[in-house]
Amino acid sequence: MKRFPIFGALLLIPALLLTAMVGCEKGPVKKEDSVTKKSPTEEKEKGGALVEVAGDPKGTFTGVVKLKGSVPEAKPEERIVKHADKDACLAGNGKHVLEQIWLVKNGMVENAIVSLEPAAGKKFKITEDLKKAAAKKEQFLDQPFCAYVPHIVGLYADVEPLRIKNSAKFLHNVKITGGVKNGDTNEPVSPGKELPPRTFKKDNNPIPVECSIHPWMNAKIITFDHPYFAVTNEKGEFKIENVPVGEEFTVYLWHESMSKKADSGKVTTKEGTPSTLDLELSK
């Protein structure tokens, strides 16, 4: 008779363990962002094969990104004057001594990203020629004074290499928080030197780049699984080449001030004449 309570207790142990496992929290779930968040095309792929876009890659898409409303003030980076390297940092003048999030000139926004996505159920046709062309591009992230130039870098994941250099006359270091997909690095870069070129895996979130020596310095790497994107220059201009003609694409716009990318309309390119679409960004 005394065996039954022991047996019942033994049966109770797995139940208690199961309850504890179900009730345990693994901590906050990382919020999927933002920039290259899954498109309708990527979601569709879960349910079956996608159809490649059929148009020849002979189109070009151009435009500018304008700021809607008043222009935010580009504030001087206050931490520079408190740093031991302040004289070398301030020698940069211009945008090198400013906070980098809002670089706007004549109402045109620098460092915005414009990207294309095909219709639901379709995907880009990526040829070896397109990959070879992307692999040959010279993508640099420089540290000429005490700001990363450019502040935003767009890369074709696993294809387009990035070269990070230090053209300043003093020491910088490069801290990349790449996480599980791209790894974390923290390497010194001597004056006039650069790190070996490297590619990055696709990540739906921006990949932060910082300088531990000058902690206000930061940049972001944005990765795509296709070459149909561009980062605006200091005039707010962008250009996306080799776009399949005769196909309608959704245009997405992202800026560091935005919590997620925005649908900015549709575009269909044709051979010979660039298709243009001027985009607006609200602060």
User: Would you place residue 9 in the very low, low, confident or very high pLDDT band (cuts 50, 70, 90)?
Assistant: very low
Q: Is 169 inside a domain boundary? A: yes
Q: Is 6 inside a domain boundary? A: no
Provide the mean pLDDT of the chain.
86
Q: Is 7 inside a domain boundary? A: no
Q: Is 205 inside a domain boundary? A: yes
Q: Is 16 inside a domain boundary? A: no
Q: Is 80 inside a domain boundary? A: yes
Task: Provide the whole-model pTM.
Answer: 0.83
pLDDT at 31: 39
pLDDT surpasses 60 at 251: yes
Q: Is 18 inside a domain boundary? A: no
- The string of pLDDT tens digits covering residues 107-124 is 999 999 999 999 999 999
> Could you tell me which of 211, 220, 217, 152 has the C-alpha nearest to residue 182?
220
The residue range of the domain holding 178 is: 40-282
Task: Write down the residue that tokens 């001594």 correspond to.
Answer: 97
User: Would you place residue 39 in the very low, low, confident or very high pLDDT band (cuts 50, 70, 90)?
Assistant: low
Q: Is 111 inside a domain boundary? A: yes
CATH code of residue 211: 2.60.40.420
pLDDT surpasses 50 at 197: yes
Residue 150: CB atoms within 10 A of its CB come to 21
Q: How many domains would you assign to the chain?
A: 1
d(CA 272, CA 170): 47
Beta strands in the chain (DSSP E): 51-52, 57-68, 104-105, 108-109, 113-118, 122-123, 139-141, 152-156, 162-164, 172-177, 184-189, 207-210, 218-224, 229-231, 237-244, 248-254, 262-268, 275-276, 279-282
| C-alpha distances in Å from residue 263, one per residue of 40, 153, 181, 207, 247 | 12, 21, 27, 22, 17
